A = this chain, B = another copy of it.
Amino acid sequence: MDHLSQTFAALADPTRRAMLARLSRGEANVSDLAKPFLKDMSLPAVTKHLKVLETAGLITKTREAQWRPCRLNGERFRDVSEWMEQYRVFWEESFDRLEAYLKTVTGKKNLKGKKHGRKK
């Protein structure tokens, strides 16, 4: 799977995003990261979530005695950020959108006079 797909897939889970949020406040080992979730899921489930994050490259896991300190890795975030750039105009466009909306409710014509290409 391509990097971006893997990254987005890893981000598509609230447990994993919460783990990233925790890591954004500093290094933490597996049981630290697991603590908030052990009411809802088992430790192996946590291990799996961390594996997904690690495989996606969003975190790095190291070894320190019997602990596995994890930290956030910025590169994949940068990939996402760069991919997002091409859409910036769309999320910043809210003002244009309002304008377009107002045109429709006030009985105005096409934004662009676009014609459907009917082939003959």
Contact = CB atoms under 8 A, between A and B. Distances in A.
A8 to B, nearest CB: 4
A12 B14 contact: no
Nearest to A29: B116
Number of copies: 2
Contacts of A90: 24, 72-74, 77
Contact of A97 (B74, B93, B94): B74
A67 B114 CA distance: 14
B14 A116 contact: no
Grouping DSSP codes into helix (H, G, I), strand (E, B) and loop, the A interface class, with mixed when no group exceeds half, is helix
Q: How large is the interface on A (under 10, 10 to 19, 20 to 34, 35 or more residues)?
A: 35 or more
Nearest to A11: B8
A86 B24 contact: yes
B64 A116 contact: yes
Nearest to A67: B116
A1 to B, nearest CB: 9
Given A9-B12, A74-B93, A78-B91, A86 B21 contact: yes
Interface of A: 2, 4-9, 11-14, 17, 20-21, 24, 27, 29, 64-65, 67, 72-75, 77-78, 80-81, 83-84, 86-88, 90-95, 97, 114, 116
